[in-house]
């Protein structure tokens, strides 16, 4: 194709691509050979010496007389640097504040020579999207610790911050509201109301969380479908398997949309297959919804879904059977992938207490 000279374009003339005649660019066809000139008019001026590939077949464009004489301003010259995409800038890794921050928590029952201290100086944190297991022998203080994380038991010393609020020092009258806002509980024996259907069990929890009427029923149904129980909406607990009941309990724990789920032996009463399905649901709550799951368990199968395992022994936190992590020990962070690093705390964010971060491979 012949490109009209810039001087011709400025004067309102163009060069016919067929017969090479310089003709008036008035929107009509070439006066000599009747070729449609609108395509030539629409082309931007080419740089000197450029060979332009012919345009593909284009539907005829109706050009008004006024427009046909308009002069196109040359396209701005762009440097190669402006055309090429800029190299991806390395953004600093985001730091995510922990959902849960436990600082030097101790619990002592009784006094004097009858005093028992099942939890001593325990410190750790857990961020959004993390599944943290708390394991240890029977009587090592796991449940006592979990009760303190859930503000159901007040620590003798230390802090338990959930979503930035220290539950350990919050006034007693404020605890129910804080629990209802921030926490979801899953128990070993499900604790469902036997007279109610699956939907009603979850709906009841929605009511307690402030959602009422048909919105509560809709939410209950949605949560049950989320945990794979869409076919069990109207079943009573007695007619459901252990795994199904536990999934109802998980749906119930989600009624208030909590950032932190606390589970005490959630798979202890389940066989291998149903235990796996419950573990899968808990993992999904962390990975897909960004919730933090802290699970107390004896069940080593759950290690497969955990980001970290914290070992308790006689009330002390150990690092997977390694050296004791008492207050003042340095931070242990064995995770090295970028994703995990993005979730760990920046130095500025770290609490005064030691943080235990173990990667279970
Ligand atoms: N209210 C209480 N009063 C006195 N001692 C208690 C109380 N609650 C727990 N303990 C003691 O604290 C210790 C730890 O109990 P905890 O239930 O936390 O252990 P656990 O690790 O959960 O054990 P398991 O794996 O068997 O469930 C036990 O020796 C227990 O007797
Ligand atoms: Mg226990």
Domain range list for the chain: 1-75, 100-357
Q: Which atom of ligand 1 is nearest to the CA of 144?
A: 18
The rounded average pLDDT for each run of 10 residues, N- to C-terminus, in the chain (361 residues) is: 53 69 72 68 48 42 44 52 54 71 94 94 92 94 95 95 92 91 92 96 93 95 94 96 94 95 93 89 94 94 92 82 32 33 34 35 30
- Residue 43 CB: number of other CB atoms within 10 A? 16
Its pTM surpasses 0.75 = no
Decide: 104 and 327 in contact? Cβ < 8 Å.
yes
pLDDT at 28: 77
For domain 100-357, give the CATH superfamily: P-loop containing nucleotide triphosphate hydrolases (3.40.50.300)
Q: How far is the CA of 268 from the centre of ligand 2 (A)?
A: 11
**Strand bridging mode 13-15 / 157-162:** unpaired
CA distances in angstroms from 83 to 79, 80, 86, 167, listed in the order given: 7, 5, 9, 55
- Ligand 1 mean position to 119 CA, how many Å? 9
Closest ligand relative to 144 C-alpha: 1
pLDDT at 273: 86
Residue ID of nearest Cα to ligand 1 atom 5: 109
Q: Whose CA is nearest to atom 25 of ligand 1?
A: 138
Task: Compute, in angstroms, the gap from residue 320 CA to the centroid of ligand 1.
Answer: 21
Atom number of ligand 1 nearest to Cα 296:
22
Among 232, 118, 334, 353, which residue's Cα sits nearest to residue 344?
Answer: 334
The Å distance, Cα 93 to ligand 2 centre, comes to: 37
**Three-state SS sequence of 119-172:** EEEEEEEECCCCEEEEECCCCCCHHHHHHHHCCCCCCCEEEEEECCEECCCCCH
Ligand 1 pocket, Cβ-based, cut-off 6 angstroms = 109, 116, 118, 136, 138-144
Please tell me the number of the ligand nearest to residue 140's CA: 1
Closest residue by Cα to atom 17, ligand 1, is: 143
Residue 354: the pLDDT is 33
For residue 307, the model assigns a pLDDT of 92
> Which ligand 1 atom sits nearest the alpha carbon of residue 145?
18
Distance, CA 261 to ligand 2 centroid (Å)?
Answer: 16
Q: Which atom, in ligand 1's list, is nearest to the CA of 147?
A: 18
For ligand 1, atom 1: residue with the closest CA: 109
Host H or E run for residue 106: strand 100-109
Asked if residues 26 and 37 have their Cβ atoms less than 8 Å apart, the reply is: no
């Amino acid at each position: 194709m012949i490109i009209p000279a810039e001087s011709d374009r400025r004067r309102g003339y163009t060069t016919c691509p067929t017969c090479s005649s310089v003709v008036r660019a008035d929107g009509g066809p070439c006066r000599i050979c009747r070729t449609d000139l609108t395509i030539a008019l629409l082309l931007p001026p080419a740089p000197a010496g450029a060979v332009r590939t012919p345009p593909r077949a284009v539907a005829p464009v109706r050009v008004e007389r006024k427009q046909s004489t308009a002069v196109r301003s040359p396209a701005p010259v762009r440097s190669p640097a402006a055309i090429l995409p800029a190299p991806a800038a390395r953004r600093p890794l985001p730091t995510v504040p922990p959902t849960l921050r436990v600082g030097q928590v101790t619990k002592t029952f009784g006094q004097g020579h009858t005093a028992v201290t099942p939890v001593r100086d325990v410190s750790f944190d857990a961020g959004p999207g993390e599944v943290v297991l708390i394991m240890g022998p029977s009587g090592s203080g796991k449940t006592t610790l979990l009760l303190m994380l859930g503000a159901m038991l007040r620590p003798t010393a230390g802090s338990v911050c959930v979503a930035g609020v220290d539950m350990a020092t919050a006034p007693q009258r404020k605890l129910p509201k804080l629990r209802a806002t921030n926490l979801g509980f899953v128990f070993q024996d499900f604790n469902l109301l036997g007279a109610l259907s699956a939907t009603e069990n979850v709906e009841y929890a929605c009511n307690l969380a402030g959602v009422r009427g048909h919105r509560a029923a809709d939410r209950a149904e949605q949560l049950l479908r989320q945990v794979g129980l869409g076919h069990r909406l109207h079943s009573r607990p007695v007619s459901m398997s252990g795994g199904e009941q536990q999934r109802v309990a998980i749906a119930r724990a989600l009624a208030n949309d909590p950032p932190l789920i606390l589970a005490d032996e959630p798979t202890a009463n389940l066989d291998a297959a149903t235990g796996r399905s419950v573990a899968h649901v808990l993992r999904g709550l962390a990975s897909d919804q960004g919730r933090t799951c802290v699970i107390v368990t004896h069940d080593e199968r759950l290690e497969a879904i955990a980001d970290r395992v914290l070992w308790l022994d006689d009330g002390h936190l150990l690092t997977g059977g390694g050296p004791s992590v008492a207050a003042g020990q340095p931070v242990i962070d064995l995770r090295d992938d970028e994703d995990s690093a993005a979730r760990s705390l920046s130095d500025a964010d770290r609490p005064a207490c030691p943080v235990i971060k173990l990667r279970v491979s």
